[in-house]
Amino acid sequence: MNANPSNIKKKKSPETSETSQSQVPLTPAKRLGRLAGWMSFGVACLIFFTLLKLPEDRIKAYIDGTISAALAKKQISFSTTEGRLSILFGISYTMKDITINFPPPHPPVHIDKIEVAPSLLSLIFSNYGGKLWLENGKGQLSASFSLKNTLFSASYKASKLEIQKLGVLPFLAGVQVAGTLDGNGSFSGDYANPTALEGEGALTFTQISTEPQSIAGFSIPPLSISDAVVEVKAEKGKAVIKTLRVGKPTPTKGKVDDIQAAVTGDVTLAKQLDNSQLNLKIHFTFSENILKSFVLLDTILGAGKQGDGSYSYTLTGPLMAPQPTPGGV
């Protein structure tokens, strides 16, 4: 007699048993985390594909127009032969073969490449930030910054950058200077309160030279300086000068630097930068080339003249109105 199939107890397969055991109910926290993850992914995809459909020419025109409007306030214009917008790994805008025209009598400046990458993540949180890359010949400069209200952070790195080709010093200070710049550093703080400044940075200028020119009504002869080094560290309300040296005390390749100077000391920062207090010691020497060009220089600085022909002074007092005292080194 055959057994009734309905009376036979069905045996669960191992696969069914394992599946039922794996289906553990999710906790509210896990559900919320999974939902947040999918929402973030969805928003990222929406932004990405929206940017893909944006008219690139209009964006480039807007960026170029914004830059032109900002520079026009300083009577500066610029042109570029190539502009490229990229959205992979974040938005960036690259310009190549840039010509910057300064107001007369300053000559135009050419830069090989500039790339700017604003930080979209910072903008989401009402911050401003981004990165900058610059290439010119063999020289490179990279910098980054972030700003929220009055709080900021910034960093930079320069390598073999020829400062004469940038045309910044002639326009800002009216001084024609040639040389190569290297250095790196990072700073952070509150620009409304200099006492909160922290960080350190270094700059090295090499093969410095100037052409004959007039500065503040004085005729300056051609100058040659082998190098200049600046190293500063800011912490606990002070900017400490670790190294500040111009020229070398010994001749370089048989040639004496036209200016030799060394500065030590610190600056006590104040909430109003102009009220910051100096505590500096300066020791410097001029070449015969400079002394012959400025016959009154020795008379003006004579109070601080040392036995070896150099000069020494101590600078104290407010940043914008320092009090020089002969000697002190």
- Residue 81 reports pLDDT greater than 50: yes
Identify the residue with better confidence: 296 or 306: 306
Domain encompassing residue 122: 57-149
Which pLDDT does position 256 carry in this prediction? 87
Which pLDDT does position 53 carry in this prediction? 53
Q: Do residues 303 and 326 make contact, with C-beta atoms less than 8 angstroms apart?
A: yes
* 313 belongs to a structural domain: no
Report residue 158's pLDDT band, with 50, 70 and 90 as the boundaries: very high
Instruction: Say how far apart CA 291 and CA 256 lie, in whole Å.
Output: 14
Q: Which two structure tokens, joined as six digits, stand for 127?
A: 């911050």
Three-state SS string across 222-281, please?
CEEEEEEEEEEEEECCEEEEEEEEECCCCCECCECCCEEEEEEEEEECCCCHHHCEEEEE
Which of the given ranges, 250-259, 273-282, 320-329, has the highest pLDDT on average? 273-282
- What is the number of domains present in the chain? 1
Strand partners, 199: 187, 234
Which pLDDT does position 184 carry in this prediction? 97
* 85 belongs to a structural domain: yes
- Residue 23 reports pLDDT greater than 70: no
pLDDT in tens, 257-278: 999 999 999 999 998 989 999 9
* 130 belongs to a structural domain: yes
Which of the given ranges, 55-59, 266-270, 291-295, has the highest pLDDT on average? 266-270
27-48 mean pLDDT: 62
Which pLDDT does position 123 carry in this prediction? 55
pLDDT in tens, 103-122: 887 888 899 999 988 776 55
Which pLDDT does position 67 carry in this prediction? 79
Which pLDDT does position 65 carry in this prediction? 79
Query: What's the length of the chain?
Result: 329
* 66 belongs to a structural domain: yes
Q: Which two structure tokens, joined as six digits, stand for 86?
A: 């990229």
* 127 belongs to a structural domain: yes
Which pLDDT does position 21 carry in this prediction? 44
Kindly give, in sequence order, each residue whose CB lies less than 8 Å from that of residue 310, ignoring residues fewer than 6 positions away. Answer: 260, 283, 284, 285
Q: Which two structure tokens, joined as six digits, stand for 4?
A: 């009734």
Count, in order, helices (H) and strands (E) of the chain.
8, 16
Which pLDDT does position 28 carry in this prediction? 60
Instruction: Say how far apart CA 80 and CA 169 lie, in whole Å.
Output: 22
**251 CB neighbour count, 10 Å cutoff:** 10
308-328 mean pLDDT: 91
Q: Which two structure tokens, joined as six digits, stand for 196?
A: 């909160």
Q: Whose CA is closest to 302, among 287, 312, 293?
A: 312
Query: Minimum mean pLDDT among 7-21, 289-303, 308-322: which range?
Result: 7-21
Instruction: Say how far apart CA 166 and CA 203 lie, in whole Å.
Output: 16
Identify the residue with better confidence: 5 or 120: 120
- Residue 148 reports pLDDT greater than 60: yes
Report residue 134's pLDDT band, with 50, 70 and 90 as the boundaries: very high
DSSP character for 305?
B
Instruction: Say how far apart CA 76 and CA 106 lie, in whole Å.
Output: 11
Query: Minimum mean pLDDT among 154-163, 214-223, 284-293: which range?
Result: 214-223
Q: Do residues 152 and 181 make contact, with C-beta atoms less than 8 angstroms apart?
A: no
pTM of the entire predicted model: 0.75
Which pLDDT does position 254 carry in this prediction? 72
Identify the residue with better confidence: 310 or 167: 310
Which pLDDT does position 17 carry in this prediction? 47
Instruction: Say how far apart CA 131 and CA 92 lie, in whole Å.
Output: 9
Give the rounded distance of the alpha carbon of 119 from its chain centre.
16
Share of the chain above pLDDT 90, in %: 40
- Residue 235 reports pLDDT greater than 60: yes
Q: Do residues 93 and 84 make contact, with C-beta atoms less than 8 angstroms apart?
A: yes
How deeply is 192 buried, as exposed, middle or buried, from its count of CB atoms within 10 A (0-12, 13-18, 19+)? exposed
280-301 mean pLDDT: 89
Dihedral-angle region of residue 257 (phi above 0 means left; psi in -120 to 50 means alpha; beta otherwise): beta
- Residue 15 reports pLDDT greater than 50: no
225-250 mean pLDDT: 94
- Residue 222 reports pLDDT greater than 60: yes
DSSP character for 151?
E
Instruction: Say how far apart CA 259 and CA 254 lie, in whole Å.
Output: 15
Q: Which amino acid is at 284?
A: F
Which pLDDT does position 9 carry in this prediction? 47
